Structure 1
Amino acid sequence: MSMEGEIGAVIMKIVIGGVILLISSVCNIVLWRQERIRLKLRKQGIGGPSPSFLLGNIPEMKRIQHLQNQDDPQQLLSHDWPPKVFPYFDVWKKSYGPIYTYSTGNIQILYVTDTEMVKKIALCTSSDFGKPASKERAPLLGEGILASSGSLWEHQRKIISPEFYLDKVKCLVELMVDSTTSMLNSWSEKIDKEGGGLGMADVTVDEDLRNLSADIISRAFFGSSYSQGKHIFSKIRTLQQTMGKGSLFIGIPGLSSIPTKSNREIWRLEKEINDMILELVKKKNEGARNDKEKNLLQKIVEGARNCANGGLVLESTLDKFIVDNTKNLYFAGRESTAVTVAWALMLLASHPEWQNRVRAEVIQVCGSRHPDADMLRSMKMLTMVIQETLRLYPPGVFATREARRDLTLGSIRIPKGVTVQILIPMIHHDPTLWGSDASLFNPERFSQGILGASKIAHAFMPFGVGNRICLGQHLAMIELKVILSIILSKFSFKLSPMYKHCPSFSLTMEAKYGVSLRIRRV
């Protein structure tokens, strides 16, 4: 070997050795930091499963999940799905109690289903107890209203929340009616085309409902119809599904930066979505002079500029501010409403007595007219059905916070860097809070309102908890009432023989194989 070759080989060995030493040092620092956190929690009597090297408890989660065979559709229509979809949480709770700690990668999580602790979390408004930073969720949420914390979140909330005040949402009812009626015309056409002499047709409602909620959010807040933004919504949905496949692999150091097939797909979709949103912003800005009132997109743009002037966002990141919040609104506004309507239709289809009762109420209140804001207030039974649907199948599964410094909640000292996690469905299905029929569909439990439905006020949390409760909850409830009341006034339905009951987590809780109904005109 030549002198140059020997020198090159030595240099390569030094480089490789340096890289290995660096990786080893980083791993040791990360692992030691996590072990110190676990030690602080153990000293307070908080146990949990032992983590593996680098991956934390992910291997055990996958093993338990595999044993439960979660993807098999249930033969019986059971609503006791949380232990099947999240079996590891159920297994660990039986071993370690309602508060324990586990980890995914380098994220140390304090899992909480203790009701008193849930109350403390809900009441904590400290800016040092904010949303966890997540690189894995960044392509979908970035640092928008759903994911940001501190002064940036407060500024975003100031811009966006007034658009969701009840008086403004009420003004959108007519728009919601128009969009819903248009969708249901396609169902009538399907009955005419495929129903034959039976006057009925099978419809898998999920995609229709996503398109409907997308149309409503687009027209209400961005001044455009779904047809204009359908490519954005389609790609956001694809991005959600792609990211949902790796929902367990959160917190593994460097994994989100490796150019795997999945990551490359996520990066491509993120870029395409971002480019399309910025193009939409450009078109809206060009036509802004002709707009009598600013829509939400224009207010986000204006807020982004003010944010830059106030030093909260750098001028160079204005586009990111705009894109992140637009994606947040598109994702939350579309998915939460669509999946909740789908679950409500499934529940009403499998409980015809409640379907008949609510339909009778809608007809009594509305007659032959479409609902308006005043009519919606009178639909008590429909409200109860929606609340029970949100209890049994909340679209958002986790309420999470991260301690930015050492915090004390109740009797527990939470170390800096710990993510506190509430699994909402476990609270919603707890028989000690809701009674022995907690896993049954019983809207009557809400006959005295939310406060009278369970033993504690904070047990019902479909829109989140505390100061981070969903800004769009008024919009969601009115939208759900409008869509369901019009469907009930026009169609009766039962579950199609094609329906397979398989609740599945894909960043929201949805029916893995869709909700298939056999519908006929009333």
Structure 2
Amino acid sequence: MVTSGIGSPLASPWEDRQLLLFSVAGAVLAWCAVRVLEWAWWRPRRLERALRSQGLRGTAYRSLAGDAALLVRLNKEARSRTMPLGCHDIVPRTMPLFHHAMKEHGKTSITWFGPMPRVTITKPELVREVLSNKFGHFEKLTPTLGRIQRLLHNGLGSHEGEKWAKHRRIINPAFHLEKLKRMLPAFAECCTELVHKWEGVVGSDLPCEVDVWPHMQNLTGDVISRAAFGSSYLEGVRIFQLQGEQVLLVLQAMNKIHIPGYLFLPTKANRRMKHISAEIGRILRGIITKRENALKSGEARSDDLLGLLLESSIADCRGDGCSNAGMTTDDVIGECKMFYFAGAETTSVLLTWTMIVLCMHPEWQDRVREEVMLVFGASTPDYDSLSRLKIVTMVLYEVLRLYTPLTALQRKTYKPMELGGVRYPAGVALMLPVLCVHHDKELWGADADEFRPERFAQGISKASADAPAFFPFGWGPRVCVGQNFALLEAKMGLAMILRRFSFELSPSYRHAPFPLGMLQPEHGAQLKLMRLP
């Protein structure tokens, strides 16, 4: 009998192997195709049906790019023009996609981050619940976003679970009040240098135009460099410069991460990001090694963040007794990067927007200066006097509300989770648009888009309905560990500037808030500075 097929008398061994290879390759290709379809189409559509069946509305899922094209179009439209001077209704310009979605589909609305549904959460009690995350129901980042974030830092903000708990325990002592007091001389020294620099260019009679935005960036970079690294200040300045370039490259990459494997492509930008990350790592490793050797020989200073961090890590090892206690050198490098990214950027934008807003509201500039002169006179500010600046604190809080440095936070469900009566499947991003919450008229009143520092006269808890609804530094166990550091630095900087200068907006200033990482002035912050007698 004549037969055919694999193993038949008419088929050679070579043909058998070919048929087997073709069969295996076909099966692999079919499996890959099914996986791609599951990831790019079937799973997003299942998640969309699950959310819409519970009454949620939003943009429809149509392609792997999600809402990328809509985002580009809305961004282009929103940023094609600047805002009127004195207008603080900045959400439509800075968060056009979420503003559009919430306007069209309601505050709890669906947008798409690639094939992942993203639901906006704006009710303060739900924001607090997500950020409290008591039982670990929400993850910090998606893997792709995590890879991008690690190019900037691999510190406390990117960790989860036991590693986060260990790092938080080790880092907390470095930000205790008594330790922060010891850093105030570094704050004062940097602020004094800035004031002297401006006095050198601003005449005694005529005002001088200065773009204060790069000056604020340099100031806070100097503060972080001195406060974090002490005697290694110049090396710290180089890290600050590299981090600034890295932020711009990372934000460019964010627009393309819906492309599978984009970060692994050998593009010029990707190669540069990896090179910068490696160079920062080399500089930090050298600083840390020298400091560790000094600690072992008993010669190290401990009044900067790096010294305090290393001492706390050593103490953790002694107290725990476990082999995995303390932090590795790579862990310390990640936390140092975090100091730069979070510490310098947050305070620089806060100081810049505060000066801009005080130009728009000169009556408040006069009130703040009067308080500063009453409390300090000509003396160098110290902690006790800074803590008595009630009007300054109200102003800084109101600026943080209107011009929140980090406009949104994001979490992700890794298992089915009920929140606010909606059952979210695993794999849904929860977008917490903090800036939108801070401008919500239902929470802050009809004047939510107006500059009214007096709303904080009785503290944060009395400032809004459904209080607290104020999240400039996050909330819950993951609240920013350096918020007191940032506020002390901002108070010191603002106080020392106000004692020597008055300022107003230059005719060349264009009001254009822009979320480039942190919320920045897109076209700079051109002010006219006048020296005070």
Aligned partner of 1:296 in structure 2 is 305
Match status 1:153 vs 2:164: yes
Match status 1:171 vs 2:182: yes
- Give the Cα–Cα distance (whole angstroms) in 2 for the partners of residues 379 and 301 of structure 1: 33
Partner of residue 444 from structure 1, selected from 428, 443, 454 = 454
Aligned partner of 2:470 in structure 1 is 460
- State the 1:478 CA deviation: 1.2
- Give the Cα–Cα distance (whole angstroms) in 2 for the partners of residues 298 and 11 of structure 1: 63
Aligned partner of 1:245 in structure 2 is 252
Counterpart residue identity of residue 188, structure 1:
E
- Give the Cα–Cα distance (whole angstroms) in 2 for the partners of residues 294 and 456 of structure 1: 40
Aligned partner of 1:213 in structure 2 is 220
Cα 1:128–1:301, aligned 2, differ >3 Å: closer, same or farther? farther
Aligned partner of 1:487 in structure 2 is 497
Q: Aligned to 1:109, what secondary structure does the other structure show?
A: strand
Deviations 1:210-263 (A, max 9, x none): 222122222223223643311111010100012123434444431222223322
Counterpart residue identity of residue 458, structure 2:
Q
- Give the Cα–Cα distance (whole angstroms) in 2 for the partners of residues 80 and 370 of structure 1: 37
Q: Aligned to 2:99, what secondary structure does the other structure show?
A: helix
Counterpart residue identity of residue 261, structure 2:
G
Aligned partner of 2:205 in structure 1 is 198
Deviates more, 1:447-456 or 1:261-270: 261-270
Aligned partner of 1:228 in structure 2 is 235
Aligned partner of 2:528 in structure 1 is 518
Q: Aligned to 2:34, what secondary structure does the other structure show?
A: helix
- State the 1:95 CA deviation: 2.3
Aligned partner of 1:183 in structure 2 is 194
Counterpart residue identity of residue 424, structure 1:
V
Q: Aligned to 2:350, what secondary structure does the other structure show?
A: helix
Tell me if the contact between 2:183 and 2:303 (Cα under 8 Å) persists in the aligned partners. Answer: no
Counterpart residue identity of residue 171, structure 1:
R
Partner of residue 126 from structure 2, selected from 117, 121, 125 = 117
Partner of residue 424 from structure 1, selected from 416, 427, 434 = 434
Counterpart residue identity of residue 493, structure 1:
F
- Give the Cα–Cα distance (whole angstroms) in 1 for the partners of residues 23 and 208 of structure 2: 71
Q: Aligned to 1:172, what secondary structure does the other structure show?
A: helix
- State the 1:295 CA deviation: 4.5
Cα 1:183–1:294, aligned 2, differ >3 Å: closer, same or farther? closer
Counterpart residue identity of residue 238, structure 2:
H
TM-score, length-scaled by structure 2? 0.88
Identity %, equivalent residues: 33
How does 1:132-143 map onto structure 2 within 5 Å?
132-133=141-142, 134-143=145-154
Aligned partner of 1:266 in structure 2 is 273
- Give the Cα–Cα distance (whole angstroms) in 1 for the partners of residues 424 and 321 of structure 2: 36
- Give the Cα–Cα distance (whole angstroms) in 2 for the partners of residues 483 and 472 of structure 1: 17
Counterpart residue identity of residue 284, structure 1:
R
- State the 1:310 CA deviation: 4.9
Aligned partner of 1:4 in structure 2 is none
- Give the Cα–Cα distance (whole angstroms) in 2 for the partners of residues 436 and 226 of structure 1: 47
Tell me if the contact between 2:191 and 2:493 (Cα under 8 Å) persists in the aligned partners. Answer: yes
Counterpart residue identity of residue 39, structure 2:
V
Aligned partner of 1:5 in structure 2 is none
- Give the Cα–Cα distance (whole angstroms) in 2 for the partners of residues 34 and 309 of structure 1: 47
Counterpart residue identity of residue 415, structure 1:
P
Aligned partner of 1:365 in structure 2 is 375
Aligned partner of 2:356 in structure 1 is 346
How many residues in Structure 1 have an aligned counterpart in Structure 2?
Answer: 509
- Give the Cα–Cα distance (whole angstroms) in 2 for the partners of residues 91 and 139 of structure 1: 31
Tell me if the contact between 1:112 and 1:423 (Cα under 8 Å) persists in the aligned partners. Answer: yes
Aligned partner of 1:414 in structure 2 is 424
- RMSD between superposed Cα atoms in Å: 2.9
Counterpart residue identity of residue 44, structure 2:
Q
Q: Aligned to 2:216, what secondary structure does the other structure show?
A: helix
Cα 1:10–1:177, aligned 2, differ >3 Å: closer, same or farther? farther
- Give the Cα–Cα distance (whole angstroms) in 1 for the partners of residues 68 and 346 of structure 2: 27
Cα 1:249–1:519, aligned 2, differ >3 Å: closer, same or farther? same
Instruction: Structure 2: state its 5+ residue gaps.
Output: 1-17
Deviates more, 1:181-190 or 1:415-424: 415-424
Aligned partner of 1:387 in structure 2 is 397
Aligned partner of 1:3 in structure 2 is none
Q: Aligned to 2:57, what secondary structure does the other structure show?
A: coil
Tell me if the contact between 1:160 and 1:296 (Cα under 8 Å) persists in the aligned partners. Answer: no
Cα 1:33–1:364, aligned 2, differ >3 Å: closer, same or farther? same
- State the 1:480 CA deviation: 1.0
Cα 1:311–1:48, aligned 2, differ >3 Å: closer, same or farther? farther
- Give the Cα–Cα distance (whole angstroms) in 1 for the partners of residues 358 and 78 of structure 2: 28
Cα 1:14–1:507, aligned 2, differ >3 Å: closer, same or farther? farther
Cα 1:298–1:173, aligned 2, differ >3 Å: closer, same or farther? closer
- Give the Cα–Cα distance (whole angstroms) in 2 for the partners of residues 311 and 21 of structure 1: 47
How does 1:466-481 map onto structure 2 within 5 Å?
466-481=476-491
Tell me if the contact between 1:214 and 1:233 (Cα under 8 Å) persists in the aligned partners. Answer: yes
Tell me if the contact between 1:106 and 1:253 (Cα under 8 Å) persists in the aligned partners. Answer: no
Instruction: Structure 1: state its 5+ residue gaps.
Output: 1-8
Q: Aligned to 1:458, what secondary structure does the other structure show?
A: coil
Q: Aligned to 2:432, what secondary structure does the other structure show?
A: strand
- State the 1:400 CA deviation: 2.0
Q: Aligned to 1:378, what secondary structure does the other structure show?
A: coil
- State the 1:495 CA deviation: 1.1
- State the 1:198 CA deviation: 3.5
- Give the Cα–Cα distance (whole angstroms) in 2 for the partners of residues 490 and 477 of structure 1: 20
- Give the Cα–Cα distance (whole angstroms) in 1 for the partners of residues 283 and 421 of structure 2: 49
Deviations 1:50-69 (A, max 9, x none): 12322122122222323x24
- Give the Cα–Cα distance (whole angstroms) in 2 for the partners of residues 484 and 12 of structure 1: 72
Cα 1:323–1:13, aligned 2, differ >3 Å: closer, same or farther? farther
Counterpart residue identity of residue 287, structure 1:
A
Cα 1:225–1:318, aligned 2, differ >3 Å: closer, same or farther? closer
Cα 1:302–1:13, aligned 2, differ >3 Å: closer, same or farther? farther
Aligned partner of 2:5 in structure 1 is none
- Give the Cα–Cα distance (whole angstroms) in 1 for the partners of residues 321 and 226 of structure 2: 30
Cα 1:285–1:485, aligned 2, differ >3 Å: closer, same or farther? same
Cα 1:339–1:46, aligned 2, differ >3 Å: closer, same or farther? same
Match status 1:375 vs 2:385: yes
Tell me if the contact between 2:373 and 2:499 (Cα under 8 Å) persists in the aligned partners. Answer: yes
Partner of residue 100 from structure 1, selected from 109, 133, 157 = 109
Counterpart residue identity of residue 209, structure 1:
M
Cα 1:261–1:77, aligned 2, differ >3 Å: closer, same or farther? farther
Tell me if the contact between 1:136 and 1:250 (Cα under 8 Å) persists in the aligned partners. Answer: no
- Give the Cα–Cα distance (whole angstroms) in 2 for the partners of residues 297 and 171 of structure 1: 13
Counterpart residue identity of residue 216, structure 2:
L
Counterpart residue identity of residue 197, structure 2:
S
- Give the Cα–Cα distance (whole angstroms) in 2 for the partners of residues 119 and 497 of structure 1: 42
Cα 1:493–1:11, aligned 2, differ >3 Å: closer, same or farther? farther
